Structure 1
């Protein structure tokens, strides 16, 4: 059984399974070539045809610019959504007039990050994922030390000698 490669379909044919008329349109390849092509494909490369219709291995093209932009917008939207709750909680805490979970500096830093996220698609480096906005959150102010006392256990009555 001989193996053939058909450039029009980038497919492989076997001599004992296909009509001779179809095999005439294909190029004969060795078992070793066949094996190497599939090993290359398993390693992430693609099988293509050269100008003579012979099978070759090529690097797979990366995602298109449109696909990369969609990926980055989805990432950005996820980051905004992930911080929505923190922003809402902070505003609710301010409205209630009590203490807030974030300091004013931390909240401003979060808002700056969210602003950068919204501006990200308009930046020159978009959609390069290594140029994404990075959140820088200032450390919380140290809380005052609180002396904690250990609760005393209630006194246990002495065992009764009569028992």
Structure 2
């Protein structure tokens, strides 16, 4: 009599691997021979399933691609952080009533760029990197 068992979820995928004497063996658990047991515990590169005929097989793991939306949100967040200092410097200079480093039109461009970044995840072309908001060229020339 087998002392190793497996249980399967309603969709047929492997749920538990059990050893008699260590675990309570539920009704309906599938007995597993030593060879199959070793495969069940060592081969984790797929999804083990129980077929309607009682055979246990391993299916390949589903392919998982990059999460482009998450990548683009991270890029967007980094871009906003990278220009905050320009906005803060300009506001500080205005409050101190001293000459601003940015012109009024540059400041307006900066604010418009930040708004485009905030709206990027809602854009129809999101998350296609080809359509990312483009920073005004003068931003790269600023020294923090």
Q: Which band: TM-score by shorter chain?
A: 0.5 to 0.7
1:84-127 deviation line (CA, Å, top 9, x unaligned): 4421321332454544334566534422321211321321133x
Which residue of structure 2 aligns with residue 114 of structure 1? Answer: 114
Query: Aligned residue pairs: how many?
Result: 127
Q: Is the 8 A contact 1:5 1:13 kept in 2?
A: yes
* 1:8-157 matches, cutoff 5 A: 8=9, 10-19=15-24, 22=26, 24-28=28-32, 29-37=36-44, 40=45, 47=47, 49-52=49-52, 54=56, 56=58, 57-59=60-62, 72=73, 76=76, 79-80=79-80, 83-94=83-94, 96-102=96-102, 106-126=106-126, 128=127, 130=129, 132-138=132-138, 139-140=140-141
Q: TM-score, normalised by structure 1?
A: 0.50
Extract unaligned runs of 5+ from structure 2.
none
Q: TM-score, normalised by structure 2?
A: 0.54
Give, in whole Å, the separation in 1 of the partners of 2:48 and 2:132: 35
CA root-mean-square deviation? 4.2
Structure ranking higher in strand proportion: 2
Cα offset, 1:12, TM superposition = 1.0
Higher gyration radius (CA):
1
